[in-house]
């Protein structure tokens, strides 16, 4: 994992930083609220209630289980993120946050590029349309890494030539907002990102999932390690009910009931499509039929 987690003993505070990928990081800028704030807000809705830590934990688990999401909005976090452009592009699809990004019109872009390590350089997966198979050989990885490094050097040389207007571009430079078009997708960018805990959970659920691209997943995992220390009861409930839990459709529940009744249920007699059946049975690591 290309992400260095915070020590398990540390509580989270502003300034804490987790290194991610080769030059990236997530730094905590500010935090508002904690598990207590969630419980407090829920108590306003439900009247007098829980008092002990055990009951607080139970209330948070109840809220998570039943999708009572608004109390989680009482907590907010502001992060400073440094990530490659292609990761930032996926990240900023999440619209429920406030963002300020480094301006490559205003400032010169630093000479920093993401170059994957050999373990994560892999060919296209044959069964997943968006995904990778197993890593390429060590020899191939070394070739690919060298080509990528050569490529970013050429790109950055051109960027500097366009800024400075040297002889290779006819002696006249162009504005930073134009010169940047020479830079590749693995260039690092930085942004401030402020989001409430409800929407953060949504982000992490989607981006820590193994369907997500590795390079954004490691950032989501870094955020998870921040949550573990910031809101431990919420983190635990989230792992139990969202990351580690599963949701079943009406047809899947019907199939489950038949299985529990001792019936042999197959893809063919389940009423599910082949794909739904595969996804359903993957929860239990079952084969083609289930009794």
- Residue ranges that bind ligand FAD, judged by CB under 6 A: 93-96, 130, 199, 202, 206-207, 211-212
CB of 202 to ligand FAD, least distance (A): 5
* Distance from C-alpha of 28 to C-alpha of 200, rounded to nearest angstrom: 14
CB of 132 to ligand FAD, least distance (A): 13
CB of 94 to ligand FAD, least distance (A): 4
Q: Is 146 exposed, middle or buried (0-12, 13-18, 19+ CB in 10 A)?
A: exposed
Nearer to ligand FAD, 213 or 266 (CB): 213
CA 201 to chain centroid? 10
Nearer to ligand FAD, 113 or 193 (CB): 193
Question: Strand, coil or helix: what is 113?
Answer: strand
CB of 200 to ligand FAD, least distance (A): 9
Q: What residue spans of 98-249 are helical by DSSP H?
A: 138-164, 176-179, 197-207, 214-230, 232-238
Nearer to ligand FAD, 89 or 153 (CB): 89
User: Strand 98-101 and strand 76-84: pairing?
Assistant: unpaired
Active site residues: 207
Question: Strand, coil or helix: what is 188?
Answer: strand
Nearer to ligand FAD, 75 or 162 (CB): 75
The answer to whether 204 touches 217, Cβ cutoff 8 Å, is no
CB of 213 to ligand FAD, least distance (A): 7
Q: List, as one string, the DSSP characters of 6-45.
A: PPTTPPP-TT-EEEETTTEEEEEEEEE--HHHHHHHHHHH
Q: Write down how long the chain is.
A: 291
Neighbours of 147 (CB within 10 A): 11
CB of 203 to ligand FAD, least distance (A): 6
C-alpha angle with apex 167: 161 to 172, nearest 5 degrees?
70
> Closest residue (Cβ) to ligand FAD?
95
Which residue matches tokens 């990885």? 141
Nearer to ligand FAD, 10 or 98 (CB): 98
Nearer to ligand FAD, 51 or 93 (CB): 93
């Amino acid at each position: 994992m290309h992400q260095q987690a915070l020590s398990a003993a540390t509580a989270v505070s502003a300034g804490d930083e987790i290194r991610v990928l080769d030059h990236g990081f997530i730094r905590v800028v500010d935090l508002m609220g904690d598990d207590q704030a969630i419980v407090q807000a829920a108590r306003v809705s439900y009247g007098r209630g829980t008092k002990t830590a055990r009951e607080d934990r139970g209330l948070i688990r109840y809220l998570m289980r039943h999708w009572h999401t608004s109390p989680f909005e009482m907590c907010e976090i502001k992060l400073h993120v440094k990530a490659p452009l292609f990761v930032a592009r996926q990240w900023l699809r999440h619209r429920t946050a406030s963002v300020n990004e480094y301006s490559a019109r205003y400032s010169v872009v630093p000479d920093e590029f993401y170059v994957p390590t050999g373990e994560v350089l892999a060919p296209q997966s044959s069964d997943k349309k968006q995904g990778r198979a197993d890593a390429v050989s060590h020899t191939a990885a070394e070739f690919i890494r060298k080509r990528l490094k050569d490529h970013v050097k050429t790109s950055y040389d051109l960027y500097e030539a366009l800024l400075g207007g040297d002889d290779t571009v006819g002696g006249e430079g162009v504005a930073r907002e134009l010169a940047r078009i020479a830079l590749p997708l693995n260039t690092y960018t930085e942004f401030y990102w402020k989001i409430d805990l409800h929407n953060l959970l949504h982000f992490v659920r989607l981006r820590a999932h193994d369907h997500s691209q590795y390079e954004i997943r490691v950032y989501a995992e870094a955020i998870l390690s921040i949550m573990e220390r910031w809101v431990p009861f919420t983190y635990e409930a989230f792992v139990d009910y969202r990351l580690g839990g599963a949701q079943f459709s009406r047809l899947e529940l019907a199939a489950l009931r038949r299985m529990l009744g001792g019936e042999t249920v197959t893809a063919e007699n389940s009423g599910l499509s082949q794909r739904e059946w595969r996804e359903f049975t993957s929860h239990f690591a079952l084969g083609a039929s289930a009794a």
